[in-house]
């Protein structure tokens, strides 16, 4: 009998690290099916909360609610808001040169200085759901 185990780590009443490795789209669906959304980081305060949560991740990167509208060369949060507060790692945060080749989504590094990075949406990572 194949049994899948789901690891959920509740660290605050607003941010929940899901220690299951899913693609970005699967992570978004998981959060929304459970009455939440992938986390949108609109301020340094929320980034500090994210930094406290991601240190418990089992993957090197953790999905955020960041997605790229390549044709418009802009990043948006799943909440629909533009990215104003910035925490990109050097070389990240710009649209890929060829939009047709790869859809990119935003993640945060779980170690180091915990900057945002752009990854192919098919990577399987832990993710953070938010109750905001």
pLDDT tens-place string over residues 46-103: 999 999 999 999 999 999 999 987 777 788 899 888 888 888 998 887 755 556 546 8
Return the CATH number at 65.
3.10.100.10
- Residue 70, φ and ψ in degrees, nearest 5: -60, -45
Residue 3 lies in a domain: no
* pLDDT recorded at residue 73: 73
Q: How many helices (H) and strands (E) does the chain have?
A: 2, 8
Residue 27 lies in a domain: yes
Question: What is the total count of domains within the chain?
Answer: 1
- List the domain range (segments joined by +) for residue 98: 15-130
For the cut 50, the answer to whether the pLDDT of residue 22 exceeds it is: yes
* pLDDT recorded at residue 132: 66
For the cut 50, the answer to whether the pLDDT of residue 11 exceeds it is: no
- Residue 102, φ and ψ in degrees, nearest 5: -155, 130
Residue 24 lies in a domain: yes
CB 47 within 8 A of CB 130: no
Cα–Cα distance measured from residue 88 to residue 117, given in angstroms and rounded to the nearest whole number = 6
* pLDDT recorded at residue 86: 85
Residue 49 lies in a domain: yes
Q: Alpha carbon of 15 to those of 4, 6, 24: distances in Å?
A: 23, 17, 17
Residue 2 lies in a domain: no
């Amino acid at each position: 009998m194949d049994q899948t185990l789901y690891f959920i780590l509740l660290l605050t009443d607003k941010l929940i690290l899901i220690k299951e490795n899913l693609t970005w789209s699967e992570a978004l669906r998981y959060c929304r099916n459970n009455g939440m959304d992938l986390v949108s980081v609109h301020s340094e305060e929320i980034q500090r909360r994210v930094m406290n949560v991601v240190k418990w991740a089992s993957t090197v990167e953790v999905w955020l609610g960041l997605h790229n509208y390549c044709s418009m060369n802009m990043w948006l949060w799943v909440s629909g808001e533009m990215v104003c507060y910035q925490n990109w790692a050097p070389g990240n945060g710009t649209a890929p040169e060829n939009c047709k080749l790869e859809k990119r989504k935003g993640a945060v590094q779980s170690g180091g200085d915990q900057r945002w990075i752009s990854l192919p949406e098919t990577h399987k990572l832990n993710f953070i759901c938010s109750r905001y």
